[in-house]
Each structure stands twice: as C-alpha cells, then as structure tokens.
Amino acid sequence: MTTADYDQASLPDLLPLYYRRLFPFSQYHRWLNYGGVTKNYFQNREFSFTLKDDIYVRYQSFSTQNELEKEMQKMNPYKIDIGAVYSHRPNQHNTVKSGSFQALEKELVFDIDMTDYDDVRSCCSGADICPKCWTLMTIAIRILDRALRDDFGFRHCLWVYSGRRGVHCWVCDEAARKLSVAARSAVAEYLSLVKGGDETVRKVVLSDPIHPFITESLTVVENYFSQYALLGQDILGSKEAVDKVLALLPEDVRKKLLQYFQTEKNPEKRWDTIRSMAQDKRMTAKKGHYFEMEIMLQYCYPRLDVNVSKGVNHLLKSPFSVHPKTGRISVPIDLRELDRFDPFEVPTISLICEELDQPKTEEEQDDNMENENKKEAGERRKMRDYKRTSLAKYVKLFDNFLEEMAHSRKGEVLKNSGECNLNP
Amino acid sequence: MQFYSRRKKLIGNSQTEQLYGHCLQFYGQPPIENISLSEFETFAVDRLKLLKTVENLGVSYVKTSELYTKKLDAEFSNLNFPYKIEADDWKPQTGPSEYEKRRKDHISHFILRLAYCQTEDLRRWFIQQEIDLFRYRFNDLPSKNIGQFLQYNNLHYHTISIDEKKKLMDKLVTSSFAVSGSTVDGKDFYKVPFQDALDLVRTRKVYLNGGYVYIPHQDIVTIVLNDFRTRLSKALALTARSLPAVQSDERLQPLLNHLSHAYVGQDYSIQKSIGKISLEQIDPLSAKSYPLCMRQLHRGLRDSHHLRHGGRMQYGLFLKGIGLTLDQALQFWRSEFVKGKVDADKFDKAYAYSIRHMFGKEGKRTDYTPYSCMKVILSNPPSQGDQHGCPFRHSDPELLKQKLQSYKVSPSGISQILELVKGMHYQLACQKYFELTHSIEDSGFSLNHPNQYFMESQKLLGGPGAGVKVEVKREDNPEVAAEITEDLDSFFQDA
C-alpha cells in the first residue's frame, strides 16, 4: 500500500517529521550550489513558501545549507517554490536601489499539466488522472526530452512528477540557466505544435516542408498511438468521439468516412483508412495534406504553457516538495523506466513517515556500524532515515543526476585549462 | 564618449582607408576626433532625417520590396550617406567623397546614441530604425563582401564542410522552405549557436541540432541583425550611464534634448495658427478634411450630444491640434453637451475641468499631445458604446463598408480599402480613404497622425487649417537654441 491514507489535515504533524528526518537537504544544496563555480549562486536564489492557512511568502533566501534547513524546519512550508538567482540576496531586496535588483539566471523549465488535454481525453477531466491518460505524460516526456537533448544540445534535464496531474522539467545546463527571456520564449515556441483555445477546433496545422523536429515527434507518437488513442481513449469508437475526430478533417474526406464508418466499426481499420486516404491525397493534390498526422498530434503531442518557460523570474514548485492536496512527494522520474512509471505508486508523505517508524532491518544495522565513523550523528541518522523509506530510490536518482552534472563541470574545467578529458 | 574633448593628430590616407575600409559597420568603436559644433549638429540632423524616412517608409512599404529600396536609395544619396560599395571614389568630382560619407555615417550614429539612450522608448525606437537601416544596407552588399564583413567584425560563423552537408542533406532540405537539394550543394551553410538565431528557431524555419542551427548563406542576415541589435542595446545602456558627463556640456545639452524630442515627429502640440478655425467651420471640415476616426467621433457627438472619455480625449486633443483655442473648445463641447442630458452647471463642474486639463491648464499642467495613429490603433481598444479608436482597425468590416458607402466612396475604392484592412495595413487604408475622398492618385505623404491627415487635406483644398508651422519648445539657452531650432524647424516641415 503506497498511500497510507493521506489526509490533508495531518500535514501539520507530518511536515515537521518530513523536514527533520527525510527531506534530502544535502543533495538539494548540492544541486542549487552548482559546484560553487559562481559566487553567491545559492545565496542569491529566491525561494517562496506557502505556509499554513495559505500564507505566501516570497523572496526567501539562505546563506548556507544549514540556514535553509533551520528555516524550513521552523516554518514547515506546505509548498516550496524555486525562483531565480538574483543580483542580490532576495531577502534583502528592499534595501537595494530600485531597478538594480534583477533576476539574472534560472533553469529552463517546462510544466505539462493534464488539464490542458481535457479536450482530447475521455477518461478523466480536470485534476483527475488515471493510468490511461498518464500515457500522455509519457509521450510528452519522450518527445521533449529528445528535443532538448538532440536539437538543443542540453544534457542535464531533470524530470519531476508534480504530485498531482503533471510533470515538470528542469533544464540545468549552464547555457540553459543563462538564457534570456527571448531565448526561452523561442525554445518554447519551437516545441509548441498545438495552438488555440476552446474556440479553435483544428489545433494543429501542418504544411510543407515538414520540419525534422515534427517528424521525430511523430515517430514517438506513433509508438503509442494505437494502444493509447485507438484502444485506451477509443477515439474512433463512439459516435461522439468519432465526430470530434471528423471535425478535424477536410469536408470531402469527412463525407467519405461517414459513409465508410457505417459498415466498418473496428477502430484500427477505421484509422488505417484515414491514413491511406491522407497518403493518397498527398500523391495527387499539389498541396500537402497531413491530416492523419495532425490528428495524431492533436490527440497526443505535449501541450506546454509557454508563460511558465518564458520568465526568468518565474517560480516553480520545487522537487521533493509535498503536494498538499494529494500528499505525494514531487519525485524525479527515471527516464530509463519511463514506461513503467506509475504516479499512483509515488510515495505520499504519510507513507514515508509511517515507514520511518518501522523497526530497523538487519541490513540497516550493519550499515549503521559502517557509517559510524564517517559523519556526525545527525547526518548519519538522516542518511539512514530516508533510506528506510520509499523515498530512497528517488533520492538515489537525484544523486545520479547531480553526479552527472559534477562530472560535466569537471570536464569543462579540464577543457578550458587545455588538457584533454580522457574519460568521455 | 569623449570624442569632442580629445586632441587628435592628422590622419594619413592609408589610416583613413583602414578606419573606414568597409561601407557598412557595426559601430563598435566611437570616433576619436575633434569636430565643430556645426558639423556635430548637421550630422545629427541629417541622420535623424534618414531614420525618420526609414520609419515612414517602413510603415508604407514592405521592407524588402523594390519600391522601398528605391525610395531609401534616393534619401541616402540626398543626405550624403554611403550606400553603394562600388563607390570607391575617394576623390569624387562633386560633393563629398566616400570617405567623408562614411565618416559622417560613423559620427552621426554616435551622436544620436547620446540623444536616444535615456529612456526605454527612445532606445527602442532608435534600435528599430538602425536595424532597419542596417538590414537595407546589408542586403545591398554583394555576397563576397558579406564574407569580408563577417571577418572584419569577428563574427565566427563557421561554414560546414562538404561532407557534413552531404550527411545532413535530407534534414537541411526538410527544415527550410527555401532550401532545395541544389541549394545545399551549391551554397555555403553556416553553423550558428541557436541563441544567435532565435527568430529562425522560434518559427522552426531552420535545422537545429546539438544547439546549433544550420543556416544557408542567404539567411545569414537575420543572424547578423540579431548580433547588431544585441550590441547596440548593450551600448545604449552603457551610454546612458556616461550621459551625465555629456549633458553637463552646455553647448550640447539643448541640441541633444531637441533631437530626442524629434523622434515622435511632428506632434502637433503647439500651433502657430491657433484660432484660424471658427466653430461654424467644424461641420463642413469634418466631412472634407477629417480622417475617418475623427469624422466618426464628430458624428457621434452631434448625434448623441455626448462622448465617453476615450472619445473626448481622442477628439478633444485632435481639435486642439487643428488650432482650436481653449475658449473655443469649451464653447464647442458645452454647446453640444447641453443639447443632451447635461446642463450647463454640470458641464462646468464635470467636463470643463478635463478640457482645460487637455490644454495644460490644470493639474500638473502637462500639455497633452494629440494622439498619433499608432496610439489610436494600439492602445485603449473601444468597447460597446465607444466611438473612439481607428475604424479601420476596430470596426467590423461590414459596418466599415456601410459607413464608407454612406460617405459615397466608390465600390472599387471600398474593396481596395477592405483589402488593406484585411492585411492589417490600417494607416494605408486611411491613406486610401484620403486619396478617394480627395480624388487624387497618390496622397504624397505617409500617414501616421490624424492631424497630419487634416493638415494635408487642408493644404490640398487651400483651407484655413493648412500651412501650420510647428514651433519647438525653446530651452534656456536662447542663442544656441535659436540657431538650432532654425534647422530643426525646417526639418519638421518636411516630415
């Protein structure tokens, strides 16, 4: 059982425990310090906390990991957001001459929210998610991660479960952190294919030439389309669903299909027909007709909120923060096991607090003896504590991510000093 | 920026050739010589005229079209700026030499930086015009000179090898509409960091891989422009910081202030022929010489004896601009409002104040300027019950058509106007309206202000509102100001 019956009312009791014994402060600080390469990078970072009774405080900043820990243990925030690295310490921004206090750097971030897909998912709506529509997140992660790596050359992308109905991506490369507002906006636009709100029926419009980025994205969608859309969402099953699909097609195609669908009820066969009709049209007509691709993209392609990605000073929910409504921890997602990721298996704060109370296993007692000499008692206990819970594997993931970044930094230093890095 | 205080030795010919070895430059290095005040002033005013032309032409024509280029060519040559690279005539028969033109280009740019670095608006305007100017000149460069220019300016945009081109052939062709197999074979492709080509990335018009975009030679201008914009933006910020030192020089301060006010062009704020229009003339004038927006507002006022705030501002300031005095304005508005639901007392209490405010007689006494077309089109869109705004922008096309029909515009004229509206060329549509209602082929001006419309119309019809001379506000130093304003006055008249 992974939820251990989470109840929002118990947060005031659980949070102190979480921040005292489970939150991975050491890794967290290691992340945001980025190897200490830039002076005051951690000190000038803005955090914002949402406290009990919806009290919201901005411009929090800390000089050391210790100070961060003490403050968080004192305030027990319900939610934690991370903002930008500023020109001065955020908690002193009122003392700075107006106009001089500027947001300088921040990770490039993306926020994919399931509610943005309400017009194309039939299983759930609003804040609800289920295993069927979760595939949309899987597709989004695959497409965006590939693009960020291959097209943009970013190497350090941390994907995090938001805790309820979506995922976030934190692109931590130095080049990404230094991007201007215009650049962030350009990246987000490059990655956007689904455009339009409630009043737009046809949200994806493709024309010649089809950019390699679109081709690559389609390849990913095709891997999931049959299982997810035709079977899971049954988009060519019921009359209502079929009508929605047909609304995206040119008039003449729609008429032919309506007739054809009277006899053919099998969704796979129906889809095959739509596909071949598109291909035929491309052979004969002068203009490109890509309606089968447009349908696939409209139903499956990631929908991101450009505004979240654009602003250098935009605040986004922190990894390892708790989601107050669901109790789930915002954990990193393992891309190697992406298809197996289950948001309903993500540990809640109540679960991991309960796990803390379990008696120690023999294995852990051995570990204790080994680590006895290494670190101070407090840290030792903390290390043991989260390791005893379901949070362990997620902290390990985070560790791996940080290790890769450290490795990259070392590589850069060697490169810049003229030596060659023998270990790729 | 200390070029006016450093001593400079004579420069020999070879050095000058090095300094201005290319007709186009990034303005990286400030000039370091002494110049006279009058040359300072002439250079600055000439460049400002050039930039104003660039702005006006940019509104009326597509920036890369032949007509645009031809008109800008003419202006360049009139003002003695360098524009054709073949003109390697260091010793021409008549007029300034190429070297002198390039020197003027260089120095005038830096002078205008001083005038235009102070506020966000000024910077934005200056950067926009300089970019358009640069684009025009860059496009004019023959391709071998482009490579030379890139090298000269340390732009390390590397071309990719033939092998790499072969490998990427498919990707390159499918990324860009303008690129075919033969383009890839025949032309150079540059590998540029994506941060330097944001416009191409944003619209997915280019192949992107590993953080680099692959750009065909013909598109390198976008990249260079971005670079230019970034450099200029940074430079202006730096200039703003050293400005206090410059402004303390009393010889320069008045001129720099006048120059920066000039960017809005004629703002019709002070009229020498105030009171030339009588109230009885307003009705016929509204039919003959008002632009459509003001005609609509006047009609609305006459019909309902009332206008909402947005309408009162737009129309009220326009009336000020055509020469109504404060007393006339008060009389005009009061007489109309009183016919409606407002009695004279209420008018004096509620509305008179705001009219006096418009004329700078209340509150912080700012003399508000009549709205330009840009302001009318872009800000404060009208809602239900409002009459203000630009009819070409804000009216439903059907309603616009009906209105034009009622004003007896020919059906072919109406469709021309509607075409322009569809293409979002609202000022051109209004210009066409001008041409149709005055029965002429070419209006002969680029419309950017309702009061300009009025003035041009009156000029054509020989009416009382024409020939209005604009006076520039004088600064504290009367002698210098007098010298300077003479030149600036004549400049404004051409606008």
Choice between B89 and B156, residue whose per-residue pLDDT is larger: B156
**Is residue A93 scored above 90 in pLDDT?**
yes
Cβ contacts of B173 on chain A, cutoff 8 Å: 209
Contact call for B202 and A189, based on CB within 8 A: yes
C-alpha A32/C-alpha A52 separation (Å) is 26
How many Å separate Cα B493 from the centre of its chain?
16
Cβ contacts of B204 on chain A, cutoff 8 Å: 190, 211, 213-214
How far away is chain B from the Cα of A212, in angstroms, using its nearest Cα? Answer: 6
Which sequence positions of A are flagged as catalytic? Answer: 46, 111, 113
pLDDT at B469: 42
Residue whose tokens read 């206990």: A381
Q: Is any Cβ of chain A less than 8 angstroms from the Cβ of B225?
A: no
Cα-based distances in Å from B286 to B294, B300, B449, B453? 7, 12, 16, 12
Residue of A nearest to B179 (CA): A209
Cβ contacts of A194 on chain B, cutoff 8 Å: none
Q: What is the residue type of B56?
A: N
How far away is chain B from the Cα of A90, in angstroms, using its nearest Cα? Answer: 24
Contact call for B212 and A212, based on CB within 8 A: no
Residue of A nearest to B199 (CA): A186
pLDDT at B366: 64
pLDDT at B481: 36
Contact call for B212 and A153, based on CB within 8 A: yes
Are B411 and B419 spatial neighbours (Cβ–Cβ below 8 Å)? Answer: no
Are B86 and B22 spatial neighbours (Cβ–Cβ below 8 Å)? Answer: no
Q: Which stretch of A115-124, B254-263, B438-447 has the lowest confidence by average pLDDT? A: B254-263
pLDDT at B13: 42
Q: Which two tokens stand for residue A370?
A: 């080994």
Cβ contacts of A153 on chain B, cutoff 8 Å: 209-212
Q: How confident is the model at residue A222 (pLDDT cuts 50, 70, 90)?
A: very high
The dihedral formed by the CA atoms of A276, A278, A284 and A289, expressed in degrees to the nearest 10: -160
Cβ contacts of B199 on chain A, cutoff 8 Å: 186
Q: Which two tokens stand for residue B342?
A: 């407002």
**Is residue B365 scored above 70 in pLDDT?**
no
C-alpha B124/C-alpha B136 separation (Å) is 18
Are A45 and A82 spatial neighbours (Cβ–Cβ below 8 Å)? Answer: yes
Q: What is the residue type of B388?
A: H
Question: B216 — phi, psi (to 5°)?
Answer: -70, 155
Q: Which two tokens stand for residue B249?
A: 């020089």
Q: Which stretch of A73-82, A413-422, B157-166 has the lowest confidence by average pLDDT? A: A413-422
Q: Which two tokens stand for residue B317?
A: 């300031």
- Tell me the pLDDT tens digit for each residue of A235-285: 999 999 999 999 999 898 999 999 999 999 999 999 999 999 999 988 888
Mean pLDDT of B137-144: 76
Q: Which of B173, B176, B208 sits opposite A151 (nearest CB)?
A: B208
Cα-based distances in Å from B198 to A215, A381, B204? 21, 50, 10
Among residues B417, B412, B418, B445, the alpha carbon closest in space to that of B433 is found at B417
Annotated binding-site residue? B23: no
Q: How confident is the model at residue A382 (pLDDT cuts 50, 70, 90)?
A: low
pLDDT, mean over chain B: 79
Residue of A nearest to B173 (CA): A209
Residue of B nearest to A178 (CA): B195
pLDDT at A200: 87
Cβ contacts of A215 on chain B, cutoff 8 Å: 174
In this prediction, what percent of chain A has a pLDDT beyond 90? 79
Residue of A nearest to B202 (CA): A186
**Is residue A69 scored above 80 in pLDDT?**
yes
Element (H, E) at A281: helix A267-284
Are A60 and A49 spatial neighbours (Cβ–Cβ below 8 Å)? Answer: yes
3-state secondary structure of A340: helix
Mutate to test the interface with B, among A213, A218, A219, A310 (most CBs of B within 10 A): A213
Among residues B404, B446, B441, B456, the alpha carbon closest in space to that of B292 is found at B404
Q: How confident is the model at residue B487 (pLDDT cuts 50, 70, 90)?
A: very low
Choice between A125 and B274, residue whose per-residue pLDDT is larger: A125
How large is the ipTM? 0.89
- Tell me the pLDDT tens digit for each residue of B74-89: 877 777 777 655 444 4
pLDDT at B372: 85
Are A334 and A397 spatial neighbours (Cβ–Cβ below 8 Å)? Answer: yes
- Tell me the pLDDT tens digit for each residue of A301-317: 999 999 999 999 999 99
Contact call for A190 and B210, based on CB within 8 A: no
Q: Is any Cβ of chain A less than 8 angstroms from the Cβ of B201?
A: yes
User: Would you tell me which residues 149-208 of chain A have a C-beta closer than 8 angstroms to some C-beta of chain B?
Assistant: 150-154, 175, 179-180, 182-183, 185-187, 189-190, 208
Q: Which of B177, B209, B212 sits opposite A209 (nearest CB)?
A: B177
Q: Which stretch of A90-94, B1-5, B423-427 has the lowest confidence by average pLDDT? A: B1-5
Are B207 and A212 spatial neighbours (Cβ–Cβ below 8 Å)? Answer: yes
pLDDT at B471: 37
**Is residue B369 scored above 70 in pLDDT?**
yes
Q: What is the residue type of A17?
A: L
Contact call for A186 and B202, based on CB within 8 A: yes
Q: Is any Cβ of chain B less than 8 angstroms from the Cβ of A210?
A: yes
How far away is chain B from the Cα of A183, in angstroms, using its nearest Cα? Answer: 6
pLDDT at A373: 54
Annotated binding-site residue? B373: yes
Residue A116 is classified by DSSP as: G
Cβ contacts of A151 on chain B, cutoff 8 Å: 208-211
pLDDT at B1: 37
Mutate to test the interface with A, among B180, B191, B208 (most CBs of A within 10 A): B208
Beta bridge partners, B215, equal: B190
pLDDT, mean over chain A: 91
Q: Which two tokens stand for residue A324?
A: 């107050």
Q: Which stretch of A360-364, B222-226, B303-307 has the lowest confidence by average pLDDT? A: A360-364
pLDDT at B266: 56
Q: How confident is the model at residue A374 (pLDDT cuts 50, 70, 90)?
A: low
Q: Which of A187, A189, A212 sits opposite B175 (nearest CB)?
A: A212
**Is residue A155 scored above 90 in pLDDT?**
yes
Q: What is the residue type of B37?
A: L
Cα-based distances in Å from A84 to A59, A72, A178, A412, B32? 10, 19, 11, 24, 41
Annotated binding-site residue? B430: yes
> Who's near B367: CB < 8 A, 6+ residues apart?
B269, B270, B359, B360
Annotated binding-site residue? B117: no
Choice between B481 and B52, residue whose per-residue pLDDT is larger: B52
How far away is chain A from the Cα of B177, in angstroms, using its nearest Cα? Answer: 6
Q: How confident is the model at residue A325 (pLDDT cuts 50, 70, 90)?
A: very high
- Tell me the pLDDT tens digit for each residue of B18-52: 567 677 788 888 888 888 888 888 888 889 888 88
Element (H, E) at B41: helix B37-60
Are B47 and B111 spatial neighbours (Cβ–Cβ below 8 Å)? Answer: yes
Residue of A nearest to B175 (CA): A211
Contact call for B208 and A152, based on CB within 8 A: yes
Contact call for B174 and A182, based on CB within 8 A: no
pLDDT at B89: 44
C-alpha B467/C-alpha B436 separation (Å) is 22
Mean pLDDT of A408-416: 87
How far away is chain A from the Cα of B119, in angstroms, using its nearest Cα? Answer: 13
Q: Is any Cβ of chain B less than 8 angstroms from the Cβ of A362?
A: no
Are A25 and A65 spatial neighbours (Cβ–Cβ below 8 Å)? Answer: yes
**Is residue A371 scored above 90 in pLDDT?**
no
Q: How confident is the model at residue B493 (pLDDT cuts 50, 70, 90)?
A: very low
Choice between B343 and B5, residue whose per-residue pLDDT is larger: B343
Over the range A267-297, which residues count as b (16 or more CB within 10 Å of their CB) and which as e? beebbebbeebbeebeeeeeeebbbbbbbbb
Contact call for A189 and B203, based on CB within 8 A: yes
**Is residue B379 scored above 80 in pLDDT?**
no
pLDDT at B464: 77
In total, the C-beta contacts within 8 angstroms joining chain A to chain B are 53
Q: Which stretch of A48-57, A195-204, A337-346, B282-291 has the lowest confidence by average pLDDT? A: A195-204
Residue B248 is classified by DSSP as: T
Q: Which stretch of A10-19, A151-160, A386-395, B112-121 has the lowest confidence by average pLDDT? A: B112-121
pLDDT at A290: 94
Q: Which stretch of A27-36, A123-132, A155-164, B136-145 has the lowest confidence by average pLDDT? A: B136-145
How far away is chain B from the Cα of A288, in angstroms, using its nearest Cα? Answer: 13
Contact call for B195 and A210, based on CB within 8 A: no
Q: Is any Cβ of chain A less than 8 angstroms from the Cβ of B233?
A: no
Q: Which of B174, B202, B203 sits opposite A210 (nearest CB)?
A: B174
Contact call for A212 and B210, based on CB within 8 A: no
**Is residue B385 scored above 90 in pLDDT?**
no
Residue B447 is classified by DSSP as: -
C-alpha B280/C-alpha B464 separation (Å) is 13
Cα-atom radius of gyration of chain A, to the nearest Å?
Answer: 24
Q: Which stretch of A27-36, A122-131, A134-143, B175-184 has the lowest confidence by average pLDDT? A: B175-184
**Is residue A60 scored above 60 in pLDDT?**
yes
Mean pLDDT of B368-375: 83
How far away is chain A from the Cα of B327, in angstroms, using its nearest Cα? Answer: 43
Q: Which stretch of A10-24, A99-113, B373-387 has the lowest confidence by average pLDDT? A: B373-387
Q: Which of A183, A190, A208 sits opposite B195 (nearest CB)?
A: A183
3-class SS letters over A134-199: HHHHHHHHHHHHHHHHHHCCCCCEEEEECCCCEEEEEECCHHHHCCCHHHHHHHHHHCCCCCCCCC
Element (H, E) at B192: strand B189-193
Residue whose tokens read 């645009």: B68
How many Å separate Cα A137 from the centre of its chain?
9
Among residues B171, B216, B221, the alpha carbon closest in space to that of B190 is found at B216
Contact call for B198 and A215, based on CB within 8 A: no
Residue of A nearest to B210 (CA): A153
> Who's near B152: CB < 8 A, 6+ residues apart?
B21, B22
pLDDT at B270: 56
